Amino acid sequence: MNNPAEAARDPELASRLLERLHRYAGPPVGVMEVCGTHTVAIARLGLRSLLPDGVRLHSGPGCPVCVTPARVFDEALALAQDGVTLATYGDAVRVPGSADTLGEARSRGAAVRVVYSALDALELARREPEREVAFLGLGFETTAPTVAWAVKAAREEGRSNFSVLSAHKALLPAMEALLRDPEVAIGAFLCPGHATMVLGAQAYAPLAEEYRVPCVVAGFEPNDVLVGLVRVLDQVERGEARVENVYPRAVDDAPNRAALGVLDDVFVRVGSAWRGLGELPGSGYELAEAYGQHDARRRFLAGRSFPGREPEGCRCAQVLRGVLEPRECPLFGGRCTPEHPVGACMVSSEGACGAHHRYREAGAP
């Protein structure tokens, strides 16, 4: 089959790959799929129940909506209640803050707008120059460069009514924190296709070397995921720990210099709080001083503090570290469903709880 995209969905290849997974003869191993899109692909395939004994898959912290703590949603809510138009992604509107979601605040009249990107939010600021528009920016290196471009464009055109409430995060410090966590016990990573388009596959080399973990970058079609797992288990069997890129049709070994360049220009790395992982040094992107006039936190929230209370009973913190399966949370499927999410991991279809819930209902084990 010459077309790689077709091969990635070929059922015969899938059964050969599954057979190979079943011939695994290495030690017990926990493999973390870092990315929410992989979590969905794995849940859709019902892959967890098809794995050989001794191989466990853990969902990781790869969903930006899930890892953003309640305090950020409190900040966003405060902006919207103070009359700033708060623009953000659809998922973010449903995540609980300490008291309310942005969606609930909107139904009571707060100015909350759903957009697809920071550029849409900038367009909103252009169309309504009499309003302040703040974009709540969430995400890893995948989305942060677009936000940086929007900020640069705003500065170049002198658009002073556009700002960003940045909750962007760097992926690698979180992966390293998980490797240092003795409770988590990760033996290998299935690395995300999207963020790696920006970071480059070799970004994982220090983790692979220092912590002796195989890091395999995989795409999102069924056979992409299966090939990724086969390569992970090949390495574990042979006692190897290196970076492999089985998604070369989209990911290079080297970083995307243009994307990283704009990130470095507009943002500086700061300590940042993650749901489940706590405060991690150097893991957040805040607007650099030169772009301070577009920093919503500096402009509108300086000196204020927010409770940042996580929902009572929610176990997202453990789910995001891969130490608790979503269905082990006492609220899963009862008080917490995709229609009425209690915690962030149930909000989006790609959050671990959302993905597990959706495919359980569709009949996957």
Q: Do residues 136 and 95 lie in contact, with contact meaning Cβ atoms separated by under 8 Å?
A: no
Q: How far is the CB of 340 from ligand SF4 (least distance, A)?
A: 10
Query: Nearer to ligand SF4 by C-beta: 40 or 241?
Result: 40
Q: Do residues 96 and 104 lie in contact, with contact meaning Cβ atoms separated by under 8 Å?
A: no
Query: Nearer to ligand SF4 by C-beta: 64 or 187?
Result: 64
Query: Nearer to ligand SF4 by C-beta: 175 or 345?
Result: 345
Q: Which residue of the chain is nearest ligand SF4 when measured via CB?
A: 343
∠46-51-52 over CA atoms, to 5°?
A: 160
Q: How far is the CB of 34 from ligand SF4 (least distance, A)?
A: 10
Amino acid in the structure at residue 36:
G
Query: Nearer to ligand SF4 by C-beta: 139 or 187?
Result: 139
Q: How far is the CB of 14 from ligand SF4 (least distance, A)?
A: 23
CA dihedral 73→79→85→88, nearest 10 degrees, is -20
Cα(141)–Cα(169) distance, integer angstroms: 7
Query: Nearer to ligand SF4 by C-beta: 315 or 321?
Result: 315
325 — phi, psi (to 5°)?
-75, 145
Q: Do residues 249 and 220 lie in contact, with contact meaning Cβ atoms separated by under 8 Å?
A: no
Query: Nearer to ligand SF4 by C-beta: 1 or 99?
Result: 99
Q: How far is the CB of 326 from ligand SF4 (least distance, A)?
A: 5
Binding positions for ligand SF4, rule: CB under 6 A: 36, 63-65, 91, 314-316, 319, 326, 329, 331-332, 336, 342-343, 345-346, 348, 350-351, 353
Q: How far is the CB of 31 from ligand SF4 (least distance, A)?
A: 19
Q: Do residues 320 and 65 lie in contact, with contact meaning Cβ atoms separated by under 8 Å?
A: no
Cα(338)–Cα(332) distance, integer angstroms: 10
Q: How far is the CB of 296 from ligand SF4 (least distance, A)?
A: 20
